[in-house]
Structure 1
């Protein structure tokens, strides 16, 4: 039996904002960027101009960092057939940040997975497993060492290598939106880029933002737990976000760069909480790829980062700061 979670359902079910809904005045806007639904809510009735500025940034960064947007920096790199491409300073910064996480994870997180991930389609009514022949052909293109950066020029040493920033770009963009809002004097709000959530400041009321952690495979959107955060980001990666079932086997979108197939490590999901959304974004994928033991070790050795891992038996495994430094409520 097929079962899919659309982007919109995933966005609605990933998080809930019960405490936030108590705000009396707010402005919000929803749009579609980076192949996902995004929503920004600001708790200031006069903040329409600042809200529009956020979506101007969304448009700007999609035109820089999207692998599917013709003419973007990443699209140009991927279609240069190994020739050098001059890109923006921000694209260079984004690529260097991603490479740092590739180094940290020994390639478990790798943004050159584009050629491989293009073989898989997790959209509605798609349930085709790529052939082993096609996977074998794509695997050699996946190696972050193929990215060569010199000043503001990027060259792919393997012309068939394809960059995909899907595992880190939304976090970077959320951070840029928050920085812009701060500079504009906005002190309260929520940035939600397809489930990548970043809260802006403490509330004037003194309340925290209560954010739910999605219960895997629960289409009703019920949370399995929630945390109380202030001026922080929460990002989750899980097998329940995009997947299909074929011949009794579930295939999800978090691919192992070494095998070409989805990771099978006993995890259903990983939620990361940090001050930086770009770090939360990259760490959620990295920790999922590393598995429970190594992923938890990484979190415990990363200053300012906390995590909740969900294993296949729906057991919650919390890092040391969850429940102490960060209030935690299990449902």
Structure 2
């Protein structure tokens, strides 16, 4: 484990709710089209604001598209999965392929959303029997979520949903949950109460419910990549609200260079060079509100129902599959820097940046090799 001091300012809470979560800046010859205007560009890149979770909210609206011109990618964007979605194809001008990639987001929202009444997960959480046959993809993601819940010793727990419902990070006048309701909800949390056997999910407690907001977007990114690769795409970037997955390299053979956002800022604390890999960040600045001078963010501790307060502002994970990067970013944040780095050091080809509340940075083994020279 190595540490770097990166202290250059204090936190600015600014406003009640952070409208943008993590900002990952992808340095590439690309434009993010916003009503015909260039998005927030830093250097020659594209700035994208990230949301969090898979709650349904005006999905599929505000679709933006740009035709491919010269070396610029073919770009499509929309709002789905409760966040901004962007897909950039560097080596294809096939609009049908791009549209198909974006359409997958709506398909999976109908599986993984915890708030949309017609989704598979919502129906599972509102079941009338404790053994339920479900969509095979939902079963798989729940099973992976249980794996990381166990791996973290419950610090990451996909059954946090009863507690999560009590926190409203979008409220105009946010407040803390009622202590009695919070205590009752905590009694319903426990990943040990869920079992998956192929396409069947069994609950030991009728009050247990599941939230996949910390893992589903990663799975969806992997499926979009699979869809694109099957159609001959060899160079692309998938950005599901900051869950970034690169396909191959840029057409000229060079790697993608990705900037990692400095918390509560639009500046970059590190730039990394990657190809055919995923980069996902979890942090206290994604969704939060300030109440009586204290910052309350959306990464909740299953032990007490309150946001984690462990000295970590953000964790960025780099690994091959986005589902693992997604789950590991929250898992490692929840574990804290020391235990999170210990975990990453035990997982082959998984790397992590931990930015602490004094803005120093700690790295898991091998992570510094990814930094742009």
Task: Name the TM-score, length of structure 1 as normaliser.
Answer: 0.93
Runs of 5+ consecutive residues of structure 2 not aligned to the other structure: 1-13, 31-43, 45-69
Contact 2:301/2:334 (8 A) holds in 1: yes
Aligned partners of 1:105 and 1:286 also within 8 Å: yes
Q: Deviations over 1:174-232 (max 9, x none)?
A: 001101111100011110001100001122212111111111011xx211111111011
Gaps of 5+ in 1: none
CA contact (8 A) 1:77 1:156 kept: no
The CA deviation at 1:49 is: 1.5
Match of 1:3 among 11, 16, 23: 16
Shift of 1:151: 3.6
Q: Tell me which of 107, 114, 119 is aligned to 1:60.
A: 107
Counterparts of 1:76 and 1:196, CA distance in 2: 26
Partner residue, 2:58: none
C-alpha distance after superposition, 1:5-62 (max 9, x if no partner): 21xx33xx61112234377132111112211111111113522111111122112111
CA distance in 2, matches of 1:92, 1:4: 33
Contact 2:131/2:203, CA 8 A, preserved across alignment:
yes
Corresponding position: 1:142 with 2:155? no
RMSD of equivalent CA atoms: 1.6
How far has the Cα of 1:124 moved from its partner? 5.0
Q: Alignment partner for residue 282 of structure 1, among 317, 327, 331? A: 327
Could you say if the C-alpha distance between residues 303 and 20 of structure 1 is closer, same or farther in structure 2, counting changes exceeding 3 Å? farther
The Cα offsets for residues 84-132 of structure 1, whole Å up to 9 and x where unpaired, read as 3221111111111111101100111111111100000111524210021
Identify which range, 64-73 or 78-87, moves more after superposition: 78-87
Q: Which residue is equivalent to 1:195?
A: 242
Distance 1:126 1:286 in 2: 29
Match of 1:292 among 314, 337, 359: 337
Mapped contact 1:202–1:230 kept (Cα < 8 A) = yes
Q: Which moved more, 1:125-134 or 1:80-89?
A: 80-89
Provide the rounded CA distance (Å) in 2 between the counterparts of 1:187 and 1:164.
33
Q: What is the aligned partner in structure 2 of residue 176 from structure 1? A: 223
Q: How does 1:31-70 map to 2 (within 5 A)?
A: 31-70=78-117
Compute the displacement of 1:327 (Å). 2.8
Instruction: Summarize the alignment of residues 1-331 of structure 1 with structure 2, pairs less than 5 Å apart.
Output: 2-6=15-19, 9-10=20-21, 14-21=23-30, 24-123=71-170, 125-218=172-265, 221-324=266-369, 326-328=370-372
Q: TM-score, normalised by structure 2?
A: 0.83
Distance 1:69 1:191, change over 3 A: same
Q: CA deviation at 1:285?
A: 0.1
Aligned 8 A contact 1:82 1:158 in 2: no
Pair 1:308–1:20, CA change in 2 (3 A): farther
Q: Secondary structure at the match of 2:202?
A: strand
Structure 1 runs of 4+ with >6 Å offset: none
- Give the number of the structure whose residues are more often helix, by fraction: 1
Equivalent-residue separation in structure 2 for 1:200 and 1:232 (angstroms): 7
Secondary structure of residue in 1 paired with 2:315: strand
Preserved contact between residue 82 and residue 155 of structure 1 (Cα < 8 Å) = no
Structure 1 equivalent of residue 56 of structure 2:
none
Instruction: Tell me how far apart the structure 2 counterparts of residues 155 and 72 of structure 1 sit (CA, whole Å).
Output: 18
* Mapped contact 2:88–2:237 kept (Cα < 8 A): yes
